[in-house]
Chain A
Amino acid sequence: MIVPILALTKTIAFLIRAGRIGHGFTWPGEIALRLSGSFIRTMIQKNPGLLTVVIVGTNGKTTSAKITRHILSKNGYRVIGNETGANLMNGVASCLIGNANLYGKIVADVAILEVDENVLPLLLSEFHPNAIMVLNLFRDQLDRYGEVNTIALKWQEALATLTKKTALIMNGNDPQIFYLGKSLPNLSVSFFGLKKKAMKKRAVPHEADSLYCPECAERLTYSAIAYSHIGDFLCAGCGFQPSGIVDYSETVKSPLLGLFNRYNTNAVALMLHIVFGIGLEKIKRDIADFGAAFGRQEIIAYRGRKIVIQLSKNPTGFNQSVEVLEEFDNAQKGVLVLLNDRIPDGRDVSWIWDVDFELLRDLADRIVVSGDRAYDMAIRLRYAGHNRGRSKGKDKLDGVTVIPDLTAAIERAVELTPPGDFLFILPTYSAMLEVRNILTGDEFKQKTT
């Protein structure tokens, strides 16, 4: 059965590439899974030598996957992985198809698979990976994922089916994930986290979810907070608090800005150390020349300006982007905020009210707003105080310009940014893909030459 499925789906994959059909990456996998529900299981069984690393969490999957791949490649491993955004079962299946020959043989040593929150249980019912990195769990697209507690419960059920052969690398500073790890005493669980002195916040920001003890429902207190609900927590009711946390972040420095990236780097270092036996000093050296992942802090030179794209797809991600702006120490900062409400973004834009845009007020010199829901974002910014000149019923807004058309908005934002300065683009997922196309695609080349 596997040979005809591979022959068919590989042909389809070829046709998609030949026809340059965008977003067609998941079709071969989708078709394979419809023909054989256990396609992924079969492929994994056919390749007993292939090591599998699964990455799950609300934020940081792509960055962590890319850092892992970077270091493993430098250590002589042949690495494959699913493409950004193709993190459902069909994306995993497509990745296996693309890297297999007609008989299902995959010529690679490691598969790094980033998977969607809801997909983890499905994937684990197909095979048991060598390692799973559980990064964090935040509020994200409630219309699609449901509530955080519900996902944590599903993960717990799925992880409980594993054996000691799977190394679990879990965030010990995320109360819900730490609790999840503690509930699996018969498995090999390791916790990563940061030392208290690296955490700068004292108050829990609004978007945080896990404020109540997962054990006894008492309110958690924090002696320090890294970001969102990630920090050094304590339950006064039952004494629930992080313990046995490994922090490699002082040796292996994060190649990217933001405390959240220190967590990602830390998780990767711990996993590589435990599962692949790579020494910390080696990891430290190998990470030094890492370049940013697609749409995550990559800097694009565009008409003499430095454009930083920072994916901002949920409240925690957005608040993190605001912090990255803080870390960029230059006087003039333009910001372009892009809000879409397509399926990959989540149809509900209510979440922008959980972001503390009030903090952006002192960081951005100019803000241009665009995307399908540009006006929703503009209203949010108005109420966050980005309209200093507003009075007497007039709509004179000093700080904010609304241009729904993306190309026009980019043009305007670039114009407003003096040459040599930074323009920060904060897009939701589908807007990130669009903006990259515009900035790096043919349209861009024509305009600059």
Chain B
Amino acid sequence: MTKKGKHSLKIGWLYPDLMSTYGDRGNVMILRKRCEWREIMVEVTGITLGTDSTEIDSVDLLFMGGAQDRQQEIVKKDLIGGKEGFLRRAIEDGTPGLFVCGAYQFLGAYYIAADGTKIEGLGIYDLVTRTPGRLAKRLIGDIIIRPRIEGLEELFVVGFENHGGRTELGKGLAPFADVVHGYGNNGTDRTEGVVYKNTIGTYLHGPILSKNPELADYLIRRALEIKYGGAPVLEPIEASWEREARDTVIGRYIR
């Protein structure tokens, strides 16, 4: 078990004011509370326009959510203007992170919008996203997946997806999960998201960590492990409401 008050984590929340449209800020609230309940000290630092790039070097766990196209443009300008290199290095060096929807797409090589314009991404993930055109349907609905992450394979992860883009992973990349119900990366290959180094990219809103606390704890554990070494064990937290919430969705699609 982690010793009370002995550990601390700093969560770097990328563009909290710009990239937080679909309730995704809940992921940060959840990570924070699950640390606090175990007396792991937490600090959440917002990394946004005007924040010094070096702040990224100081964080133990990264999070970024999705946003409207217009706000994504502002973010892109800011990243390319300085923070890009820092973010890339943090991810390559193994800082754990969660990147949802717009952020997930944005870490890829490029994004082709419905009107055909190509928007360059950061190219940290070897993946591309295309929107098949104005009339193509958005991939919207409840989604159930099974993660390919060690220790979480038995889990049904439940969320909500809402994206126009279809994402194809490069050859060397592993998906985050297999789709049980819903669309996932592209609606055809039954994969969802990506795992790269210690980060997860995913389309799941909900927010994803709300009904899947095992995933939240996985990220916390990983961050502690990298910061302090060893194999940290987290104090269990009662989760009957989470089980009920998950079963509500699963019960609609799987019998």
Contact = CB atoms under 8 A, between A and B. Distances in A.
A407 B247 CA distance: 21
A401 to B, nearest CB: 12
A347 B140 contact: yes
Contacts of B30: 383
A148 B68 contact: yes
A350 B245 contact: no
Contacts of B120: none
Interface stretch (B2-10, B17-25, B123-131): B17-25
A373 B210 contact: no
Nearest to A347: B141
Nearest to B70: A149
Given A217-B74, A354-B23, A383-B29, A376 B210 contact: yes
Given A350-B205, A353-B25, A373 B140 contact: no
Interface of A: 139, 142-143, 147-149, 206, 211-212, 217, 219, 347-354, 372-373, 375-376, 378-380, 382-383, 390, 393-395, 402
B57 to A, nearest CB: 26
A149 B68 contact: yes
Given A376-B245, A378-B241, A348 B205 contact: yes
Contact of B207 (A149, A350, A382, A390): A350
A348 B249 CA distance: 11
A380 B210 contact: yes
A194 to B, nearest CB: 25
Contact of A383 (B20, B26, B142): B26
16 contacts: A147-B68, A211-B17, A217-B70, A347-B140, A348-B160, A350-B207, A351-B22, A353-B207, A353-B210, A375-B241, A375-B244, A383-B30, A383-B210, A394-B238, A395-B238, A402-B244
A68 B211 CA distance: 44
A376 B240 CA distance: 12
B71 interface: yes
Interface of B: 17, 20-26, 29-30, 33, 49, 68-71, 73-74, 140-142, 160, 162, 205-207, 210-211, 235-238, 240-242, 244-245, 248
A383 B213 CA distance: 12
Contact of A212 (B74, B140, B160, B242): B74
B206 A350 contact: yes
Nearest first, the 3 A-B pairs at minimum CB distance are A353-B26, A353-B23, A350-B23
Contacts of B238: 390, 393-395
Given A383-B30, A383-B33, 16 more contacts: A143-B160, A149-B70, A211-B17, A348-B22, A348-B140, A348-B205, A350-B23, A353-B29, A353-B210, A372-B248, A373-B245, A376-B210, A376-B245, A378-B241, A383-B26, A402-B244
B52 to A, nearest CB: 18
A395 B49 CA distance: 41
B25 to A, nearest CB: 6
A337 to B, nearest CB: 14
A347 B142 contact: yes
Contacts of B25: 206, 353-354
B68 A350 contact: no
Contacts of B211: 376, 379
A372 B140 CA distance: 19
